[in-house]
C-alpha cells in the first residue's frame, strides 16, 4: 500500500473550504490530473458516487468513488475501487486561528499485476499526489477573494 499526506493552509474560512471540497466534482479545478469528474448518483451525502477520469502514469484511467464518510466542516472520505486498485482519499479541514488547514491524504492499494509493480508506481503516485496538493493550495487561495 502507498500512503501519502500533505497539509496546505489558506485564509479562507473552514466553512467555505469544506463547502468547496465537499462537491467532489470541483476536483477538476484543483487536481490537474483529474480530466473529468461527474456525479453518478446521490446529493453530496454519504453514498454519493462519482466517476473520476484521471491521468496516471502516462495513461488515462477511470475510477468510481463513493463518499463513505462526512463530518460537517471537518472530514470528507471517498473510496474508489476496481479490479486493479483500491484508493481512499481523506480530506480534513481544521480552523487554526485565522487560517484553515486542509490535510489531503491518499492511500492506494494495487492488486494483481499492478501490486507487483507497486515499488515502481510509488513515483507516479507521488507525482499525482504532489500535483493535487499544489492545485488544492492554489484553488483554496482563490476562495479568499
- Please calculate the CA angle 85-135-89 and round it to the nearest 5 degrees: 30
Residue environment code for 22-43, b if the CB has 16+ CB neighbours within 10 A, otherwise e: bebeebbebbebbeebeeeeee
Mean pLDDT of 103-125: 77
> CA-CA distance, 46 to 67, in Å (whole number)?
5
Q: Are 31 and 54 in contact (CB under 8 A)?
A: yes
What is the reported pLDDT for 114?
Answer: 67
Report CA Rg, the chain. 15
Number of domains in the chain: 1
CATH number of 74's domain: 3.30.530.20
Residue 38: pLDDT band (50, 70, 90) is very high
> CA-CA distance, 62 to 55, in Å (whole number)?
9
What is the reported pLDDT for 42?
Answer: 95
Residue 102: pLDDT band (50, 70, 90) is very high
Q: What backbone torsions phi and psi does residue 29 show, to the nearest 5 degrees?
A: -80, -40
pLDDT tens track for 41-64 = 999 899 999 999 988 767 888 999
Residue 113 has pLDDT above 60, yes or no: yes
Closest residue by Cα to residue 109 from 77, 86, 137, 138: 86
Which residue segment(s) compose the domain that 46 sits in?
2-142
Amino acid at each position: 500500500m502507498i500512503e501519502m499526506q500533505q497539509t496546505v493552509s489558506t485564509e479562507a474560512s473552514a466553512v467555505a473550504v469544506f463547502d468547496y471540497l465537499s462537491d467532489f466534482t470541483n476536483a477538476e479545478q484543483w487536481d490537474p490530473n483529474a480530466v473529468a469528474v461527474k456525479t453518478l448518483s446521490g446529493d453530496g451525502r454519504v453514498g454519493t458516487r462519482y466517476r473520476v477520469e484521471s491521468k496516471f502514469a502516462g495513461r488515462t484511467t477511470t475510477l468510481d468513488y463513493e463518499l463513505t464518510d462526512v463530518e460537517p466542516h471537518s472530514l470528507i472520505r471517498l473510496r474508489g475501487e476496481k479490479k486493479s486498485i483500491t484508493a481512499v482519499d481523506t480530506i480534513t479541514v481544521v480552523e487554526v486561528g485565522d487560517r484553515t488547514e486542509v490535510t489531503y491524504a491518499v492511500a492506494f492499494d494495487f492488486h494483481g499485476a499492478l501490486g507487483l509493480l507497486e515499488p515502481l508506481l510509488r513515483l507516479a503516485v507521488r507525482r499525482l499526489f504532489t500535483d493535487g496538493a499544489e492545485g488544492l493550495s492554489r484553488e483554496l487561495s482563490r476562495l479568499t477573494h
